[in-house]
Structure 1
């Protein structure tokens, strides 16, 4: 039996991104996923016919290994690479094992870029949020799609960190050649303990989808 994703029970706005992608891009377009993790959202993109560039820095997410589970248990997590091989998708994914914020500028733009709850992690706070967003934007070709779901602030500590943001605050980065297509937000909701967050916890999440103009304005 195939090992399930470590993040299979967590909420995601990915269906909204996929619907916009199907509406705006060819079926064999290239999508870059920033923070690909163990492939939870990479596999459905490949299954839908897209070519994927998967960028991930965590060796366990990439190669699998022992992880701490809720209830003071440990278990083995399947990594992205083994998951792709089991699905027969390995040849359709370019896996980049690197820190997205430390890599050089991309030489080839893609048709869409997506990230899921990546920039709020403390490991990504060594660069301002604007740099993270700007690097993602630079990957998107004219006419392409940008998609990001992200954690919104709940506690006072969160309000002091720009990496816990909101759709309204993100809009300031999408002027000129960008058109914001959709923003969504949740109310506070409870989520069960999972890998990386070993106690039940409360979240707020947001989504921003934007399209780059086909020609510069």
Structure 2
């Protein structure tokens, strides 16, 4: 990639999702990325030959703009649209600029769906976690993959918010028509400053990958 995501160096389980995708889907599979941000996951998927549906409602993530950098610096960051054009990948990505829960999306037409640390943001707490999980599930065709990495509780206040979840609690949303393929979790770890978090901060993360059963 000639361009770089603002989130390029943050921890992710995305390689584990890619490995599962290679096992379950063709190289030109359709993958929906929920909370596409500036394309940290969208661009690698498109560059690998996949057709991508990128869902994002934040104008800054989509179109870029000025950002405050750790250390009192400022810079212009490219958005998803800029990066797709720069990398020559625009034709492989359908960008949906809308709230995920109300967006017009094709049901049961994706080979896989992926989200990274999207539903724990306070702006999404107006809807139950089950709404996000259920809508993601509805996009996946038979034999397709559901993949999510998410923040787990760290502070006491997180324990009362269902959106800070765990692999075990997520599994309750998956019935007999789903097979859980992989769950992982980290211990507490310290992440370095990045956009929106100017100081060292502590996280715990989980991964949940499931496959919809094929009839």
| Superposed pair shares fold, TM > 0.5 | yes
**Paired residue for 2:164?**
164
Distance in 2, matches of 1:3 and 1:209, equals: 28
Contact 2:107 2:138 in 1 (8 A): no
1:71 aligns with 2:71: yes
Q: Structure 1 pair 202/137, CA: closer, same or farther in 2 (3 Å)?
A: same
- Displacement of 1:3: 4.4
Distance in 2, matches of 1:22 and 1:3, equals: 25
- Displacement of 1:129: 0.4
Deviation per residue, 1:19-57 (Å, 9 max, x gap): 000111011110000000001111111111100000001
Alignment of 1:134-149 (within 5 A): 134-149=134-149
**Paired residue for 1:12?**
12
Distance in 2, matches of 1:151 and 1:168, equals: 13
**Paired residue for 2:201?**
201
For structure 2, which runs of at least 5 residues remain unmatched after alignment?
none
Greater CA drift, 97-106 or 188-197: 97-106
Distance in 1, matches of 2:135 and 2:45, equals: 21
Alignment of 1:38-57 (within 5 A): 38-57=38-57
Alignment of 1:1-217 (within 5 A): 2-104=2-104, 106-107=106-107, 109-215=109-215
| Matched position secondary structure for 1:113 | strand
- Displacement of 1:75: 1.6
Contact 1:53 1:96 in 2 (8 A): yes
Contact 1:3 1:77 in 2 (8 A): no
Distance in 1, matches of 2:160 and 2:68, equals: 29
Contact 1:70 1:195 in 2 (8 A): yes
- Displacement of 1:196: 1.9
| Matched position secondary structure for 2:172 | helix
Contact 1:55 1:96 in 2 (8 A): yes
- Displacement of 1:190: 0.4
| Matched position secondary structure for 1:22 | helix
Contact 2:189 2:204 in 1 (8 A): yes
Distance in 2, matches of 1:210 and 1:98, equals: 26
- Displacement of 1:101: 1.9
Deviation per residue, 1:81-120 (Å, 9 max, x gap): 1101111100000000001022246345211000000000
